[in-house]
Amino acid sequence: MGWNRKVDRLFNLKKEQQQDREVVKYDDEYYNPDEDRIERNAGDNLEKGDLFAMIVSAWITILPIALGTLLVIVLLAWLLLGL
């Protein structure tokens, strides 16, 4: 009843706002708006040595944390078990 009128008003307002939007026409002959919708693959923007650099940086980031965690576990085991 009252709820339906509120919902209808919202839908009508949304339609009016969409109609009021200006249609953008691109006069630039070099700009194609469809180019923005091209799907890109993961490796499209990589240069020759980028993949190797990413792998090395991942190892530099992960390896010290993993070794530190392993060291803490070994030290706790050594302290608790008295080996």
pLDDT tens readout for residues 23-80: 666 666 666 666 666 666 666 677 777 888 889 999 999 999 999 999 999 999 999 9
Spatial separation of the C-alpha atoms in residues 20 and 16, rounded to whole Å: 6
For the record, the structure tokens of 49 come out as 């040595």
Phi-psi region of 75 (alpha: psi -120 to 50; beta: other; left: phi over 0): alpha
**pLDDT score, position 48:** 78
pTM of this prediction exceeds 0.85: no
Tabulate helix, strand, coil % of the chain (nearest 5). Answer: 65, 0, 35
List the structure tokens of 71: 């060291």
